[in-house]
Amino acid sequence: METNLKMIGTERKIQQAFIKLVMREGFDHLTVQQLSQLAQINRGTFYLHYLDKFDLLTHYENDLVTAIQLIFERYPKPNTETNSEKNAFQQMFNYLYRQRQLVVALINSPASQLAARIKPVIANVIGRPVANTKIPVNFAQEIVTQGIWDFVCFWLTQEPIQQPQEAYEIFTASRQLSPQQLLRGE
């Protein structure tokens, strides 16, 4: 039990150091030595957990993507009959709010593949659009999934950030309006 707590503490220190360094210096300039110093661990301890900084980045992306996949498996897609506290998108907003610092660090890192990995998860939840004669299905799906991810990124990077419930309400309201309606404030 004591070993597990120590390991969790080390993981937490590494994550906090990772976030600070990525936000301050960028992922490309981050070194394992800097990370270890800021986390107050030995470099050897870092290498017990990860191969290198890219392995660490992939680990964080995997954790986030897996958590979102589990949310979408556990909770239903929102509809007019679903309580907002019990649907997948509301739960995703809650989770991303709790993981905000890490998500923002990854969003701001060109080395991160988070967007490319989360968009297919979102696309899977929303399903394939109905064929439209003017807009090919793959374009329609990209427009919707990119719009959802852009909304989430915009929300998470705002200061001060809105609470997840407020952001989710804006999100759901925006999904019912055309771009023209959004811009005219209807």
**Could you read off the pLDDT of 116-148 as tens digits, one per residue?**
999 999 998 887 767 666 888 888 888 889 999
Q: Which of 152 and 132 is assigned the larger pLDDT?
A: 152
Using the predicted structure, report yes or no on whether residue 79 has a pLDDT greater than 90.
no
- Transcribe 1-66 into DSSP letters: -HHHHHHHHHHHHHHHHHHHHHHHH-GGG--HHHHHHHHT--HHHHHHH-SSHHHHHHHHHHHHHH
pLDDT at 180: 82
Using the predicted structure, report yes or no on whether residue 113 has a pLDDT greater than 60.
yes
Neighbours of 36 (CB within 10 A): 19
Q: Of 40-44, 84-88, 104-108, 160-164, give the lowest mean pLDDT range.
A: 84-88
Mean pLDDT for all residues in the chain: 90
Taking the C-alpha atoms of residue 70 and residue 67, their distance in angstroms, rounded to an integer, is 5
Using the predicted structure, report yes or no on whether residue 82 has a pLDDT greater than 70.
no
Taking the C-alpha atoms of residue 32 and residue 52, their distance in angstroms, rounded to an integer, is 7
**pLDDT winner (highest mean) among 59-73, 132-146, 172-186:** 59-73
pTM: 0.88
